[in-house]
A = this chain, B = another copy of it.
Amino acid sequence: MKTMNTLMKKLAVISLIVFTAMVAIPLQAQFMARNAVVSPEVLQDQKVTFRLYAPEANKVAISGEWMPGFGEQLPLVKNDTGLWVVTAGPLKPEFYTYNFIVDGIRMTDPSNAQVVRDGTRYANSLIVPGEASDLYKVKDVPHGSLTKVWYNSPTLNMKRRMYVYTPAGYEGGTQKYPVLYLLHGGGGDEDAWTTLGRAVVIMDNLIAQGKASPMIVVMPNGNANQSATLGDAPDAAVATIAPGSPSAGQFETSVVKDMIPFMEANYRVITDKNSRAVAGLSMGGGQTFNIGLKNTDKFAWIGIFSTGMFGGVQGYGNYDPEKQIPGLLTNSASFNNALRLFYISCGEQDPRFEYTQKAITTFKNNKLIVATAAFPGAHQWSVWRLSLADFASRLFK
């Protein structure tokens, strides 16, 4: 028996050596070739060339955020060296994400080290330069800090993690700052605004250009059942609790009861309501609606980006603004007096757009003062980045 085991082990070792020898050279070649491949290459005319060295692949395509639909793909063409190439565009200046699809598998571009996570999916990013994307480029300006910090949430009965942006000059200074609480959407977590949303870059640039007041931006995890993003928490719970579920409302309460006290105890923040804003996208827009309008003694600035609560999403749209926020329509003057800014934005191609327009009309018919913005795009990050830049530029002035 022992001899048998020994023989089998020897065979296994020999197989491994043979197998290793077989794969070692192609892998090395691939590694060398990959390192020489430039992808993406942004050309002068805003066209972008994508390349993948994949001599063994049968089919390579690219799926990019500039394409109208998620399922769309543009095929790459293989040359006789095994390099697959396609040139897309011209593309409008923007921060885009994209993936390669190699023999049916969605993957990242190995030549592009810029990778962002969208929930559980990973994609590459690229910037097509121009006026419209200038705000998303890291520039040689004073940079703020980003801290991943844990705070206690008695409301949700857990320690939870959030990201805190402090503007350049915070370290070593004595000044107190206003605070924007900035909420992500469904499927996202506390990481989303700083990666897909480029919130740090946007805030650094807006502040450096004098377009936004220096402010602290708090980006919590908006999934009430999740203490931190997957892998950064012992429970590692997948976010399952959306608005409408039994836990809905608890996160909203925790912003007021847990986060504001934490920020006031640990950061140099101005504590009056005129120096406190809340904004969010999609799911976070609905949360913001409730957090902001139910706490007008705490927040004077409210920003709702691409919410589905007004309609346009299956299962939503039956909201009753007066029931949800008593007085919102019947006593709109009290809200107008309490708020410095009630802001609603949406992408013009978002299915939520027409319902948002209807809600805005209702609000305006009831003399509720609303600032509105519409941006080209569907339910997507390009709209939310523009919303953040627009909203943040109006705050605390």
Contacts and interface: CB of A to CB of B under 8 A. Distances in A.
A174 interface: no
A315 interface: no
A1 B103 CA distance: 39
A113 B103 contact: no
Interface in A132-185: 137-140, 142-143, 145-150, 159, 161, 168, 171-172
A368 to B, nearest CB: 39
Contact of A103 (B103, B119, B234): B103
A110 B230 CA distance: 15
Contacts of A28: 71
Interface in A225-274: 230-234, 236, 265-266
B138 A71 contact: no
B110 A121 contact: yes
Contacts of A59: 56
A230 B113 contact: yes
Contacts of A117: 113, 115
B149 A171 contact: yes
A24 interface: yes
Contact of A145 (B72, B137, B148): B148
A103 to B, nearest CB: 4
A265 B72 contact: no
A172 B104 contact: no
Nearest to A29: B104
Contacts of A115: 115, 117, 122
Interface stretch (A15-23, A304-312, A318-326): A15-23
A137 B235 CA distance: 11
Interface string A102-123: 1111111010011101011110
Interface string A35-55: 000000000000000001011
Contact of A23 (B20, B61, B161): B61
The count of identical subunits is 2
A75 interface: yes
A119 B120 CA distance: 21
Nearest to A113: B120
Interface string A89-108: 00000000000011111111
A72 B20 contact: yes
Given A20-B69, A110-B121, A138-B232, A104 B143 contact: no
A210 interface: no
Contacts of A58: 56, 58, 103
A140 B234 contact: yes
A229 B101 CA distance: 27
Contacts of A290: none
Nearest to A30: B104
Question: Which of A121, A143, A149: most chain B CB closer than 10 A?
Answer: A143
- Most B CB within 10 A of own CB, among A101, A104, A108: A104
A182 B372 CA distance: 48
B54 A103 contact: yes
Contacts of A102: 102-103, 105, 107
A107 B107 contact: yes
A73 interface: yes
Interface string A183-215: 000000000000000000000000000000000
23 contacts: A20-B73, A23-B73, A27-B71, A28-B71, A30-B105, A34-B106, A57-B103, A58-B103, A105-B107, A105-B110, A106-B110, A113-B231, A114-B230, A114-B231, A115-B122, A138-B231, A138-B236, A142-B150, A145-B147, A145-B149, A146-B147, A147-B148, A171-B266
Smallest CB-CB A-B distances: 5 pairs: A56-B104, A113-B120, A107-B107, A147-B147, A24-B71
